Structure 1
Amino acid sequence: MSMGQSGDEPTVGQLVANVSKDLSSLVRSELELAKTELKKTAVAAGTGAGMFSGAAFLGLLAIILLTISLAYAFTALGLHPALAFLITAVILLLIAGVLVLVGKKMLGKAKGPQRAIETSKESVEALKAIGKGD
């Protein structure tokens, strides 16, 4: 008795087409879930990277000011202008340190698409079970 003869059961071709369509839909759904999760992660990672960029810029300014203050210290030996530049540079370095800590914390919150990975593993296990005939 071949499949599809009685009209009640689908043919092998129909079953293959249904499986192909379902698998395609499943893959599209998994990709959409991954995109959604990655958007959230990208925002957190972007914010953390922005904090590191701000710290790098302020660090560069601090190096410039430290260099100028050192030059004033050697040439003028009147500590007043050099001390002013030195204090400004120290304040900028403290701000840069705070930005680094905040940026590191923000990057630590960034995670991968965990739900998409979990559901993908479940789908693979289900397909393996179907393939084994369970």
Structure 2
Amino acid sequence: MSQQHLPGATGDAATTPPPEERSLSDVLGAVAEDLTDLFRTELDLAKAELKQEAGRAGKGAGMLGGAAVAGHLVLALLSVVVIALLDLALPLWAAALIVTALWAAVAAALALLGRRELQSSNPQLPRTQQSLQSLKENAR
């Protein structure tokens, strides 16, 4: 048996009158307090979920950054090889210009695709949405 149920115990159980003795204003006050606690809990859940997802996204972004640096070095060296091969048939400046134009086109295409993806992104909080949906259904 917990201490709240013992005679003379302190806390909410000792100060709250039995349900049949509570006034309507006491009941409404308790409901309002419970709703406030519920909303605070939902807000804390959303914050925790965002923090967890942000940490995961940060870790992934760091790994992608490292891969991008390594990929950049590979592409730079590959570009030198392509320029050297084109130099066998063309002047060096023409070979370098062709490779530069190729990379400019690739950069422009990737920038447009990336921009489109960012504009269509819609971050969601699935557990919070599910919890709020169940609250909404239970309120009916």
The two structures have a TM-score, normalised by structure 1, of: 0.49
The two structures have a TM-score, normalised by structure 2, of: 0.48
* Higher RCO, 1 vs 2 (CA within 8 Å, ≥6 residues apart): 1
